[in-house]
Structure 1
Amino acid sequence: MTSEPTNQHRILYHLGDGCEVIAQIGEALNLNHTQVGKAACGLIASGYIERVERGCFQLTEAGVQAVASGVRICGGGSGPTKSIRKPSRNTIRQRAWRAMQIHREFTVPDIAMVVSRADPPKAYKSLHGFLRQLVAAGYVMRTARKVPGTASGSNGFNRFRLIRDTGPRAPVYSHKRGSFHDFNTGKDWPCKQV
């Protein structure tokens, strides 16, 4: 007994080479606006389609490959997804990424002062890990020059430079993959030593 194809399945196989808006998809497949929107969200989370502009969707490379290989999307529970979550807009790392884009050259205290909201020591620790990963992936480089420290006997603060500015969204690190996923370019950037 074969089950009915899901709305996600129907939309995946309906989309061709171009970009289609919700109304076009709904009319072609006899689905309402809400049905198309929900199914599109699931396909985006799976990495099969992307939103090019508001309400306009097209297949990703993964979506084209899925259609070519005959992938079947069945209904059922929504378990964990293998795709990487898009960064939320107001995390410490997203604010830090934006500050790095503005400053171009910076120290950890420079960025921590800008992005910290409630707990500066926590922000400082989080930024150290984020910068270490960004250096390993080639987004940021540590310069030879240090900035004098504030405590007596301090060796100073390391200075960093942003060298790969790919866009407004902060890259997201995946421990499982050992790489950053860049939502600005759609590419993964492996970390050489994290």
Structure 2
Amino acid sequence: MTYESALSESRKEAAIISQRLHGLRLKSDARSKTAAACFAIAQQHHSSILILLSNRPALEATAMALLRLLLEATLRGLWVSRCATDEQVDRIATGAKRQVDMASVITELGKLFNLKSARSILYDKAYHVLSAYTHTYEQQVQRWICTNDIEPNYQPDEIVCLLERATDAMRLAAEGVRAITVMDKDKP
């Protein structure tokens, strides 16, 4: 898939997801509202990635950095809705100190979904690379010093991969939203 076709497909998928979620009625308990906030933040990160990559010239460095934030918002929303204790939900909602770290979030989600390798794959292997892009470590800097000039040098396949992972995260966030939706049978 080419960069442009991947960007076009990601835009189409974002529009479909937005249309499917528009107008849904969400549960009003603290857990659902907190999870919904995480999923809404994820949706904004996804939209921002698409905007940054649609710019000419594309702003790949910032789009790459946002992938970690998108993934974190999605995973934290799933964790809040499915794993967090009431006390943990309250701490997030009120801004209290001592939030649960992402390694623990991933580990708990892995147990919930019976994914034995979730921590190994998502945290131990992928998270440090995502962090490198977010915090301007080696993977991010190396894309700027490939030639004698200081300029971005992201390969099209890297951007296609970014778009695919971002869209996967957005699909997961959308499923999380649907799980906290009031169904007709739940209406009073």
TM-score range (shorter-chain normalised) is under 0.3
Query: Rg bigger for which structure?
Result: 1
- In proportion to residue count, which structure has more strand? 1
